[in-house]
């Protein structure tokens, strides 16, 4: 399991604060952070692209994750991508 870089940790901390300012529940904030961290571990610091996001989605499905779980994780990731102003990488 890869460890987040210092830059990723800083961005995740800022993202967490942003979610709290949006009045997301602490449980939601924890889940979103967990899901984004799972994506970062999967990405292994590869450049962020829509293709990488779609590859992760397929990997989750290949691991046997339920469709509801995959969609929930993508919702978390899409929120993070919007925070980064990377809507071009969002996927369904």
3-state helix/strand/coil string of 9-62: HHHHHHHHHHHHHCCCCHHHHHHHHHHHHHHHHHHCCCCCCHHHHHHHHHHHHH
Predicted TM-score (pTM) of this structure: 0.87
- CATH of segment(s) 6-89: 1.10.150.130
Q: How confident is the model at residue 4 (pLDDT cuts 50, 70, 90)?
A: low
What does the pLDDT read at residue 9?
A: 82
pLDDT in tens, 6-56: 888 888 889 999 999 999 999 999 999 999 999 999 999 899 999 999 999
């Amino acid at each position: 399991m890869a460890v987040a870089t210092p830059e990723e940790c800083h961005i995740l901390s800022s993202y967490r604060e942003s979610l709290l300012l949006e009045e997301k529940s602490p449980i939601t904030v924890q889940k979103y952070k967990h899901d984004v961290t799972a994506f970062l571990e999967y990405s292994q610091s590869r450049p962020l692209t829509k293709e990488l996001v779609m590859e992760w989605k397929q990997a989750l499905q290949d691991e046997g994750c339920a469709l509801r779980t995959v969609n929930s994780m993508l919702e978390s990731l899409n929120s993070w991508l919007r925070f980064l102003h990377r809507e071009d990488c969002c996927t369904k």
